[in-house]
Amino acid sequence: MRFKPVALFAALALVAACESTSEETGTASGAGTGAGDVETAVVVTEIEVEEVSLSPVEAEEEMVGIGDRVFFGFDQYTLSGEGRVTLEGQAALLNKYLAITVVIEGHADERGTREYNLALGERRANAAKNYLVVLGVDPGRIRTVTYGEERPAVVGSNDGAWAQNRRAATIVAGSSAGS
């Protein structure tokens, strides 16, 4: 989002310059020199966007490098300190590359009913999304989905497997990676 205000400021500065030129010459049409200046601002905006864009594969690699999963305690959907740190890294990436959109998948371990685990997975995904939004990420760039216990990261019925399955995973939209 920080590049949009820069582009908007540049466009406004150019329009303001055009207006003072129009006032000085006594014309109010805005045609001629002013129109060319506005086109220049559009080109600048396009260059800025190109400088900070990543392919979905590159974005997914960046996300995995930062940490694409946050883990939760048994029957919990509150973020741990470690989870917050991971999401802060994700927010920095998303705020740097404005074209990236993500899906946050909520997951649960196999204990509990299917309906309960779907609801718990949804609360976990929303907890991660809400924290990203607090950190300045546009909520329109984040979609949530819950899988409950349906997509375990680790198969097994023990504490280690359950701990890995209680998670919210952030996936770059358009990537072929899964959790």
The pLDDT tens digits for 156-175 are 999 999 999 999 999 999 65
Give the separation between CA 22 and CA 64, rounded to whole angstroms.
52
**CB contact set of 112 (below 8 Å; sequence gap of 6+):** 75, 120, 149
| pLDDT (mean) for 147-153 | 97
Same domain, 69 and 86: yes
pLDDT for residue 14: 40
Residue 148 has pLDDT above 60, yes or no: yes
177 assigned to some structural domain: no
**CB contact set of 167 (below 8 Å; sequence gap of 6+):** 69, 70, 71, 72, 107, 124, 153, 179
Same domain, 98 and 15: no
Residue 17 has pLDDT above 50, yes or no: no
pLDDT for residue 127: 98
104 assigned to some structural domain: yes
> Could you tell me the CATH number of the domain that includes residue 142?
3.30.1330.60
Give the separation between CA 88 and CA 91, rounded to whole angstroms.
5
Distances (CA, A) of 99 to 51, 53, 93, 95, 132: 11, 7, 11, 9, 15
| More confident site: 22 or 65 | 65
Same domain, 22 and 94: no
pLDDT for residue 51: 45
30 assigned to some structural domain: yes
Same domain, 15 and 103: no
Q: Which domain holds residue 36?
A: 3-51
Residue 177 has pLDDT above 80, yes or no: no
Give the separation between CA 133 and CA 126, rounded to whole angstroms.
10
Summarised one tens digit per residue, pLDDT across range 124-145 is: 999 999 999 999 999 999 999 9
Helix (H) or strand (E) holding 165: helix 159-165
Same domain, 27 and 61: no
pLDDT band at 29 (very low <50, low <70, confident <90, very high): very low
| pLDDT (mean) for 18-33 | 41
159 assigned to some structural domain: yes
Same domain, 64 and 103: yes
pLDDT band at 32 (very low <50, low <70, confident <90, very high): very low
Summarised one tens digit per residue, pLDDT across range 47-63 is: 343 345 788 899 999 99
Residue 6 has pLDDT above 70, yes or no: no
For 90-116, the DSSP string reads HHHHHHH-TT--EEEEEE--SSS-HHH
Number of domains the chain contains: 2
Same domain, 79 and 135: yes
Same domain, 64 and 129: yes
